[in-house]
Amino acid sequence: MTTSAIGDLDAWRSLPALQQPEWDDPDEVRAVTAELAAQPPLVFAGECDQLKDRLADVVRGDAFVLQGGDCAETFDGSNADAVKNKLKTLLQMAVVLTYAASVPVVKIGRMAGQFAKPRSKPVEVRGGVELPAYRGDAVNGFGFDAESRRSDPKRLLKAYHCSAVTLNLCRAFTKGGYADLRQVHAWNQDFVAHSPAGRRYEQLAGEIDRALTFMKACGANPDEFHGVEFYSSHEALLLEYERALTRIDHLSGLPYDVSAHFLWIGERTRQLDGAHVEFLRHIRNPIGVKLGPTTTPDDALALIDRLNPDGEEGRLSFITRMGAGRIRDALPPLIEKVRQSGAPVAWICDPMHGNTFEAPSGHKTRRLDDVLDEVAGFFEVHRALGTHPGGIHIEFTGDDVTECVGGAHGLAETDLHQRYETACDPRLNRGQSLDLAFMVAELYRKSA
């Protein structure tokens, strides 16, 4: 394969790359990336192609994406319990959607690599002390002291190893029996079972049980339900890391970023002439771009032109994050222009990032009602235009945290301090995630 067919995987180096850490020692970065480049792949090209096929189904209106996980994964969180709880939430949500909305659900974790964060400000000030902002465990530490906040390239290696551990757990849980549909009740134990959403889920799980028994009686093979397909994803933010994990697939001769199945470009780094768009246009994974409320229809078309010029179905998803107050005005012009162009795009709604605000206590938070309203707006817009609402992208955790307000337990702003554990943005807890899944299933059913 010639360089021109592969494209120049290093052309991004001469372009402006926003949101990159300031590393002290370029030699150390070179040594670390050389070590990363020698590590085994985390995912395989064939798996990325399979996800692209699944996303092509989404483009055609035949499937729905459920993408979610932490805002920022942490090295401490790469353990069996935390990973299992997140997967359990994803599986429960997926079951609600599959059963109640009768749609195949493409399950993608914001997991096994979501260790780097873009920030609004490069520094954080507390009590008159100014330090570099926390940029995710792949870059620096969360602790507010100079040593923790120093950008340390060795953390890139740790991010790779924690991604490997997490993905290994995900593969084991999703293929080794834990995700078996006959376990629907087992995912609903602990605190969530007693929440209103948990009780509603239990009812649905009972119906699934009966349906499975019926199918078995009809001669269906119950082992068909033994495992589920699960894919990993993260924001492709740290270009040195992504480049070091990009390999030429020996079968096709094409480059794949083997750090995750699906990579996305963030709202802050989607400049057409920027390094992120340049780098991602060369890799063959399915990719996404976040689109905020300032995106113009021409921006969307230009991104399509750069990132999916051949119009490959499933290659490109637009993950819109407009905010509840903007979605009904900001989304239609984008969809209309893209539809007129005939370009195949999967439209995914991120109802989190346009709805963040600071509570009087100083906690960054989101109202579940705003999240639900943005999702409702997303469905309304698609229904009005006759296009397919392709999925949701959310930040959640499997734990009983108090980071977003609202939900069946009426979590108030004054409750936020109780279990506020996120390393960056506020996540839905398990009950709130299930509330959302039931609402999405209902909206989907009505729009189908």
Ligand X SMILES: O=C[C@H](O)[C@H](O)COP(=O)(O)O
Ligand Y SMILES: C=C(OP(=O)(O)O)C(=O)O
What is the enclosing helix (H) or strand (E) of 26? helix 26-37
Where helices occur in 227-367 by DSSP H, the ranges are 239-244, 275-280, 297-307, 327-341
The DSSP output letter for 40 is P
User: At closest approach, how far in Å is the CB of 266 from ligand X?
Assistant: 7
Ranges of beta strands (E only) in 186-333 are: 231-235, 246-248, 255-257, 262-265, 287-291, 316-320
290 interacts with, out of ligand X, ligand Y, none, CB within 5 to 8 A per kind: ligand Y
- Decide: residue 101, CB within 10 A, 0-12 exposed, 13-18 middle, 19+ buried: buried
Task: Assess 293 for contact with ligand X (CB under 6 A).
Answer: no
Q: Quick one: 107 or 290, whose CB is closer to ligand Y?
A: 290
353 among the known binding-site residues?
yes
Query: What is the C-alpha separation between 327 and 70, in angstroms, rounded?
Result: 23
Task: Assess 235 for contact with ligand Y (CB under 6 A).
Answer: yes
268 among the known binding-site residues?
yes
As given in the structure block, the two tokens for residue 195 are: 């929440």
Q: Shortest CA distance to 409 belongs to which of 439, 429, 437, 394?
A: 429
119 interacts with, out of ligand X, ligand Y, none, CB within 5 to 8 A per kind: ligand X
Query: What is the C-alpha separation between 253 and 1, in angstroms, rounded?
Result: 6
Task: Assess 107 for contact with ligand Y (CB under 6 A).
Answer: no
As given in the structure block, the two tokens for residue 30 are: 């070179």
382 among the known binding-site residues?
no
249 interacts with, out of ligand Y, ligand X, none, CB within 5 to 8 A per kind: none
Any idea what the Cα angle at residue 219 is, between residues 218 and 225, rounded to 5°? 105
Question: Taking contact as CB under 6 A, which single stretch among the options 33-41, 169-177, 245-253, 263-271 is the one that binds ligand Y?
Answer: 263-271
Query: What is the C-alpha separation between 306 and 282, in angstroms, rounded?
Result: 10
The answer to whether 272 and 296 are in contact (CB under 8 A) is: no
Query: What 3-state DSSP class applies to 4?
Result: helix
Task: Assess 388 for contact with ligand Y (CB under 6 A).
Answer: no
User: At closest approach, how far in Å is the CB of 424 from ligand X?
Assistant: 5
120 interacts with, out of ligand X, ligand Y, none, CB within 5 to 8 A per kind: ligand X
Which of 184, 331, 368, 424 forms a contact with ligand X (CB under 6 A)?
424
User: At closest approach, how far in Å is the CB of 267 from ligand Y?
Assistant: 4
Site size with ligand Y, rule: CB under 6 A: 9
Task: Assess 353 for contact with ligand Y (CB under 6 A).
Answer: yes
The DSSP output letter for 143 is S
User: At closest approach, how far in Å is the CB of 350 from ligand Y?
Assistant: 6
Touching ligand Y, residues 109-138 (CB under 6 A): 118
Site string for ligand X, 105-144 (x = CB under 6 A): ------------xxxx------------------------
- Could you list the residues that contact ligand Y (CB under 6 A)? 71, 118, 235, 266-268, 290, 321, 353
Q: Which residues bind ligand X (CB under 6 A)?
A: 71, 117-120, 424-425
Residues making up the annotated binding site for phosphoenolpyruvate are 110, 267-268, 290, 321
